Structure 1
Amino acid sequence: MSKKNIPFILLIAFSAIIYFTLPYFNHSVEVSETPKTTSIDSASLIKPEPKMLYGMVVDSLVIIEDKIKRNQNIAEILLPHNVTNEAIYQLAKISKEVFDVRKLVANKKYTLICERDSLKTAKAFVYEHNSTEYVVFNLRDSISVEKKQKEIQIVEKGVAGIIESNLSVTMQELGLSPQLTNDFVDVFAWQIDFFRLQKGDKFKLIYEDHLVEGQSIGSGKIKSIYFEHFGNDFYGFHYDQGDGIDYFDENGNSLRKALLKYPLDFTRISSRYSGNRYHPVQKRYKAHRGTDFAAPRGTPIRSVGDGIVLEARYQKYNGNYVKVKHNATYTTQYLHMSGIKSGIRPGMKVRQGDIIGYVGSTGLATGNHLCYRFWKNGVQIDALKVDLPPSAPIKKENALAFNLKKNQMLNQLEMINFPEENATVFASVK
């Protein structure tokens, strides 16, 4: 090879080196300008929610649930969990104003929240007083007692039914509470004789159900009702004009009267008002100037209206009874009580719906029942046939708002099918 060709060959070799190494050179520059990052799942950075029970974090604690046994006291529950007699005495002392620990009821649920140690030392004792309340007994360094309320969820529900025998049985078969049946009857008490329903009568009902931890604890107010009775349509819509909930028909007329139709929750009429009835005790025919409602002993009896108690005493034939004067026109009397409610005495005021006594069989009676008597202008009449003036209708200034609400409730009622049409239950969370 001549010396003249050496520079040329070196030039070619140098160019080749640059050509083949340049991509790697460029790559290294890019890496230095844009640092490499590691992808991390953001979900792994989020801490899980702590487990809560009765407002306390219990992730690392032992939970013991049980029910109060008959004649069991709080010491029997706490002593095995490293709580001293002195601490239990102090707990009982400071809790009296919140909840008396001597009043634990058998079969009520309780929960012990304990340390994860060999003794399972109790940190808190929780007693579920009723379906909506519970009491927390804090057993840490500073002993304290607190009564708390469970969250209540209100859900609107709708249901439809067809009466085969009577309203109570039909409502029960639909899984509805006796209280809801009583409220239903109260809405239409002056329009419909619920003791003379016919087979095939239909109804649709929208009401509030109160839930705690997903379980129903009782019904709230009725929102609307459709009732078909003897081929006639009856509607009831709840509305508040500023002085409390009342019920109105589709034209805005009140369904309420000055007095309740019935003095006790929906039950059975055992004997109606009559001018000539065979008396089961005296064994002869005589006038029966009252309406007898058969009901279990102890069933609460309510005053059908506001008024002043005229009499509250025992009499040979009437047994324990209460007599109430409602106004210058109407007076009512309630006979054969097992007992008059404590505090009911002549001269005191009572409000519509107040309990004044309890069903019994005192006086001239063969079984537990209430004999309900009614006077109009001093003359005894049939309480079930009295015609009272209605409460005030929807006011003019409330007419537009009422009609809007009524139309909404009508649409909800139309969404519910009767059983023969594959009934469905309408439900929405309020």
Structure 2
Amino acid sequence: MKYILYLLILVLGFSCQQEKSEKVAKIAVKKEPIVKEYGFIFNDFTVVQDTLESGDTFSTILEGYTLPDSLKLFDITEKVKDSFNIKNIRAGKEFITFSDKKNKKNLKAFVYVQDKTSYLVVDLRDSIKVEIKKRPTILKRRTIAAELDGSLSETLSRNGVSAALANELAQIYKYSIDFFKLKKGDKFAVTIQEKYFENGEYLGVDKVEASYFEYKGKKIYAFPYKLNENQKRVEYYDEKASGAKSMFLKAPLDYFKLTSKFTARRFHPVQFKWKAHNGTDYAAPHGTPIKTTASGVVEATGYTSGNGNFVKVKHNSKYSTQYLHMSKILVRRGQSVTQGQIIGKVGSTGLATGPHVCYRFWKNGVQVDPLRMKLPSSEPMTKKQKEKYLATIAPLKKELDDTTAKTFKE
């Protein structure tokens, strides 16, 4: 019995010792995590991550290392110049050096981080290779619905969305919503694409796909859309295909003093006689930029003794506008212009007593007063364009409405 007990103790002791040995072995073979960034596996190099200080240059950083055989500092800097202006290296920016695992001074590669998304790579392993690369990003899509509680930016932040989206939404709705009059409890929903680095770092909103705001008891939708492939910028339209912005700006100047309105009888300050004034005068300092109030094609430019330097823009088959007394014309006949584009500068050429622009407006070939007209919200879509647009936004609108109903249990 004693022998059996002794044998059992030996077996248990050996088993425990073996288990400890296996644990030690497992700990011993545990590998360090693989770190891969900027196109390099950090584990394969001696890596130094540092920040540029005042006075640092590309050359002074490399002078502290041994370069691969046959490579000279001059050759490297000349190669870099072909892709990147090394004078743009700035203090405070991050840089990374990759050198030999055994010989820490033997430089293999250099990375200069320009900003969050782009970086310069100088690879010296085989020959001199210089590239400007982008950190890979991913897009994630989601729809949120919320009630205003505080400012729009604060409400977005509480929902985990970049507060910068508030400014973008304000621009989208600037023709239809006074954001200073939004109040607590007003609802909104937005479908967005958000950008992230592969490591999960949030970079903000990349794109707005659809949105609505509840304003004065009404839902105001906005969907970005291009009517044709040649259109450079998207425009925003509602659920009925009406434009979110006005087709015409209220005035051709940002800052002005309205000095003379459209009237059938006005005493002309230069000719000293009563006559019709078929335009609206906006006084402003000499050289003030003049903007076209709507997109279109420049129909005419030139000079007459009465109008001075002028530009006339045809917007469509119904509407045209003209801008008189310019000091300088900045467009040419036949040129396409977009709403808000600067087409000239305020002057006092022609029959004018001081610097101003006389703004003239035609509807169906007849001069009218734009201040008294109900102008269209935007260029209307054709029947075919409208059908395609409505089919495109249908799933986006449903997604907004479904998210809203679920969030507020409507």
Match of 2:51 in 1: 67
The letter of the residue matching 2:178 is F
Structure 1 position 179, deviation (Å):
6.4
Structure whose CA Rg is larger? 1
Match of 1:220 in 2: 206
Match of 1:123 among 84, 98, 108: 108
Structure 1 position 270, deviation (Å):
8.0
Q: Are residue 391 (structure 1) and residue 380 (structure 2) matched? A: yes
Cα pair 1:246 1:254 within 8 Å, conserved = no
Match of 1:327 in 2: 315
Match of 2:73 in 1: 88
The letter of the residue matching 2:118 is E
**Residues 218, 139 of structure 1: CA spacing in aligned structure 2 closer, same or farther, 3 A cutoff?**
same
Structure 1 position 304, deviation (Å):
5.3
Q: Secondary structure at the match of 2:111?
A: strand
Q: Deviations over 1:125-153 (max 9, x none)?
A: 11223332222111224111012222122
Q: Secondary structure at the match of 2:81?
A: coil
**Residues 60, 396 of structure 1: CA spacing in aligned structure 2 closer, same or farther, 3 A cutoff?**
closer
The structure, 1 or 2, with the larger RCO (C-alpha pairs under 8 Å, 6+ apart) is 1
Q: Find the aligned partners of 2:108 and 2:372 in 1 and give their Cα distance.
A: 60
Cα pair 1:303 1:353 within 8 Å, conserved = yes
Match of 1:253 in 2: 241
Structure 1 position 356, deviation (Å):
4.8
Give the structure-2-normalised TM-score: 0.60
Structure 1 position 46, deviation (Å):
12
Q: Are residue 149 (structure 1) and residue 125 (structure 2) matched? A: no
Cα pair 2:46 2:104 within 8 Å, conserved = no
Match of 1:139 in 2: 124
Q: Secondary structure at the match of 2:78?
A: helix
Q: Which moved more, 1:398-407 or 1:117-126?
A: 398-407
C-alpha root-mean-square deviation of aligned residues, in Å? 5.3
The letter of the residue matching 1:170 is L
Match of 1:106 among 77, 86, 91: 91
Match of 2:222 among 214, 236, 243: 236
Cα pair 1:155 1:210 within 8 Å, conserved = yes
Match of 1:305 among 295, 301, 326: 295
Q: Find the aligned partners of 2:371 and 2:361 in 1 and give their Cα distance.
A: 10
**Residues 401, 307 of structure 1: CA spacing in aligned structure 2 closer, same or farther, 3 A cutoff?**
closer
Match of 1:171 in 2: 153
Q: Find the aligned partners of 2:336 and 2:179 in 1 and give their Cα distance.
A: 27
The letter of the residue matching 1:90 is D
Q: Find the aligned partners of 2:73 and 2:36 in 1 and give their Cα distance.
A: 25
Match of 2:173 in 1: 188
**Residues 275, 395 of structure 1: CA spacing in aligned structure 2 closer, same or farther, 3 A cutoff?**
same
Q: Find the aligned partners of 1:199 and 1:384 in 2 and give their Cα distance.
A: 31
Q: Are residue 57 (structure 1) and residue 41 (structure 2) matched? A: yes
Structure 1 position 184, deviation (Å):
2.2
Give the structure-1-normalised TM-score: 0.58
Structure 1 position 323, deviation (Å):
6.7
In structure 2, the gaps of 5 or more residues are 1-27, 262-278, 285-290, 303-308, 324-328, 349-355
Q: Find the aligned partners of 2:293 and 2:174 in 1 and give their Cα distance.
A: 15
Q: Find the aligned partners of 2:322 and 2:205 in 1 and give their Cα distance.
A: 30
**Residues 174, 403 of structure 1: CA spacing in aligned structure 2 closer, same or farther, 3 A cutoff?**
closer
**Residues 409, 184 of structure 1: CA spacing in aligned structure 2 closer, same or farther, 3 A cutoff?**
same
Structure 1 position 303, deviation (Å):
7.9
Q: Secondary structure at the match of 1:81?
A: coil
Q: Find the aligned partners of 1:59 and 1:197 in 2 and give their Cα distance.
A: 57
Q: Which moved more, 1:64-73 or 1:83-92?
A: 83-92
Q: Find the aligned partners of 2:358 and 2:202 in 1 and give their Cα distance.
A: 38
The percentage of counterpart residues that share the same residue type is 19
Q: Are residue 210 (structure 1) and residue 198 (structure 2) matched? A: no
Cα pair 2:149 2:155 within 8 Å, conserved = no
